Amino acid sequence: MRAAVATKLHETINAVWRIESAKLIAGLMRVTRDVGIAEELAQDALVAALEQWPRQGVPDNPGAWLMQTAKHRAIDAVRRTQRFSEKQDDVARELDTAHEERAPDLIEQLDDHVGDDLLRLMLVSCHPILPSEARVALTLRLLGGLTTDEIARAFLVPEPTVAQRIVRPKKTLSDAQVPFEVPRGDELEGRVASVLEVLYLVFNEGYSATAGDDWMRPALCDDALRLGRMLAELVPREPEVHGLVALMELQASRTHARTGADGEPVLLLEQNRGRWDHLLIRRGLTSLDRAAALGRAKGPYVLQAEIAACHARARTAEETDWKPIALTYTDLVTLIPSPVIELNRAVAVGMAFGPEAGLKLVDALRDAPALQRYHLLPAVRGDLLEKLGRLDEAKREFLAAAALTQNERERALLRRRAGAT
């Protein structure tokens, strides 16, 4: 009985941490101006909760308790350190006075600008000064509340590797004295684009795992969606933010239909659309409408969301209108030239205008350097060859694709397709 109670308590603490940690770190970073110190202080508050809540019980407002505890530690840290500027010393004295003279108002004082602080933290953790994998790891750590072990397991990399991807960027940001502020104009747009890139990478790794035994890692999709929705509320005038949220909502709506009873992949045209999540579809279409209402030129995330919306609106695979999908892919590849997008366009063209038309586009990509180790090139080619009745060629392509993929579920699917031709 005691073990069950302890387990439930730890689950509660973990859930509170996942929800509140980003706010804690963001608020503390406004005081300390150092992401590493802010995270350490927030972790100290978590340790205090693990020590005190089993004895005292979970407080009525656990998030506020964590914030107050973290702020007390921030005051102590600022009082101890000699490395802060005169302005930061002033902030420390103000916080100290607040703590001594009107402690009940302390939480309110640090929570005045939670939204702004969260946006600042997003922009810092996704700063272009950091390499892509570091931005992903730091964002999941600081804003997603994931542990180093959870991130390592999600991306199938050693835990020490992830730890370095978190420690080194924090030092880089500190050494570069990256300001904890929201930039303006073109700089803000560029920084938001970096955040979107990170969320897109995280979601895609969850949606189609690049390696391992699982076809999907839904928890990563959930984390990306949660952060995307948060960002959409923080910068509501950016259509690409709503576009990415729409794309993720619409893609995530297929989650339950994308795997069979044993976890095997189920391809889009074979999915039971009755299992699609229609609440997520409605939310995705609403986000797409929000992007359109801003009246700006369509960016890559809005265009991809429009493609996903075409699929979402079709009640059956046969009702899918492939011509607008093919045209939207043409717009997308014009905006951001990419052989991967060209390959996706070839699939849509093959569905809209016949497999011969699609195969012609795929064959034009066979020498593209970026696709030489990309398993979906032979997979798509095999599918088109199969539809044309060229079964021996299709089998060779499916086997080639199976040899290239690092995902065990996908490899098994491709081998089954090879055996069926």
Cα(131)–Cα(76) distance, integer angstroms: 33
Give the tokens for residue 128.
């272009």
Q: Is 407 helix (H, G, I), strand (E, B) or coil?
A: strand
Q: What is the pLDDT of residue 99?
A: 46
Claim: this prediction has a pTM higher than 0.85: no
Strand partners, 259: 265
Tokens linked to 294: 């801003």
Q: Which candidate, 238, 278, 208, 210, places its Cα nearest to that of 123?
A: 238
Q: What is the pLDDT along the chain (421 residues), one digit of tens a residue?
A: 566 767 787 788 888 888 888 888 988 888 788 888 889 989 999 899 889 998 888 898 988 899 889 888 877 766 666 554 454 555 555 555 544 443 334 344 444 445 678 888 989 999 999 999 999 999 989 988 888 988 887 787 899 999 999 999 999 998 998 888 888 777 888 889 999 999 998 999 888 877 777 777 888 899 899 999 999 998 999 999 999 999 999 999 999 999 988 888 999 999 999 999 999 999 999 999 999 999 999 999 999 999 999 999 999 999 999 999 999 999 999 999 999 999 999 999 999 999 999 999 999 999 999 999 999 999 999 999 999 999 999 999 999 999 999 889 999 999 999 997 7
Give the Cα separation of 110 and 70 in Å (integer).
11
- 415 membership: H or E segment, kind and range: helix 408-420
Per-residue burial over 373-389, b = 16 or more CB atoms within 10 Å of its CB, e = otherwise: ebbbbbbbbbbbbbbbe
Q: Can you tell me the distance from the alpha carbon of 339 to that of 200, in angstroms, rounded to the nearest whole number?
A: 18
Instruction: State the DSSP string of 244-277.
Output: HHHHHHHHHTTGGGSB-TTS-B--GGGS-GGGS-
* pLDDT of amino acid 18: 81
pLDDT of residue 229: 94
| pLDDT at residue 90, as a whole number | 56
pLDDT at site 92: 54
Q: How many angstroms separate the CA atoms of 32 and 373, rounded?
A: 46
Question: Which stretch of DSSP H or E encloses residue 138?
Answer: helix 132-142
Q: Which residue has the tokens 């004082």?
A: 109
Determine the Cα–Cα distance for residues 419 and 421; give it in Å rounded to an integer: 6
Residue ranges of the domains in the chain?
A: 1-112
